[in-house]
Chain A
């Protein structure tokens, strides 16, 4: 057991390339939790996360010979997992643009502006806000995001990647990442504000 956990990723790859299937199962043990949680964050539900998990390991198994070792194995696997999860939500959800008009208070209507901001739910502690219903509402709100916004928000605010890392993984420009992140956050702010003001 100690020997197994001390084995490096590189050793596992060499053993797998040498035809040892048990090496693959070691790799599965090592990465299944990380991939599952990542897939859950991006897809927003357990069923899709399971599909992604299976797809990712199938891909690793069939493509391991293409891994050239120029990056860490963990980075290679991470990229495969992000793309698989993104493709999953892109297949299931319609792409659309989120305009700032949709997520900002109406310009020039003072009443609308103040009315949207009167109930200050932000001063309530997290443990008061985060009921089971609120958690479901938060996950529902993420799933309402168009896929291209959803994936950027998940990688940044749920997974903690930098904007540059997201740009590299998704082949986007840095301004595109920032723009999608900004709109996604404002969309979710609006949804959560409406919810918390309604239940207060």
Chain B
């Protein structure tokens, strides 16, 4: 039974991405319905992905924009 739990977890990422075919998904769902530790493992993986996916990233800082522009302005003019 324990081995079965880790076997089923091999499909976990594809399950979260909706990439399993119907038969494997049904088997996965059935296992999760009967195995509390696996269900918690699934929930914690889903939550991990969700937390990372929802992280917000700042735009480029203004001082970096200015620094970049100054640096690039010094490049030689392109030859046509």
Q: A-side interface residues toward B, CB under 8 Å?
A: 16-21, 24-25, 28, 32-33, 36-37, 40-41, 46, 50, 53-54, 57-58, 61, 64, 100, 104-105, 107-108, 110, 113-114, 117, 120-122, 126, 129-130, 135, 138, 142, 153, 157-158, 160, 163, 178, 181-182, 185-186, 188-189, 192-193
Does A16 contact B78, Cβ atoms closer than 8 Å?
Answer: yes
Closest chain-A Cβ to B37's Cβ sits at a distance in Å of 5
When chains A and B are docked, how far (Å) is the Cα of A46 from the Cα of B59?
11
Interface of B, secondary structure class, is helix
Within 8 Å CB of A189, what residues of B? 41, 44-45, 48
A-B contact pairs, 7 of them (CB 8 A): A32-B65, A105-B41, A117-B41, A126-B51, A158-B55, A185-B48, A192-B51
When chains A and B are docked, how far (Å) is the Cα of A171 from the Cα of B23?
30
Closest chain-B Cβ to A49's Cβ sits at a distance in Å of 9
CB 8 Å contact bits of B15-47 with A (1 = contact, 0 = none): 011010000000000000000010011011111
Closest chain-A Cβ to B47's Cβ sits at a distance in Å of 4
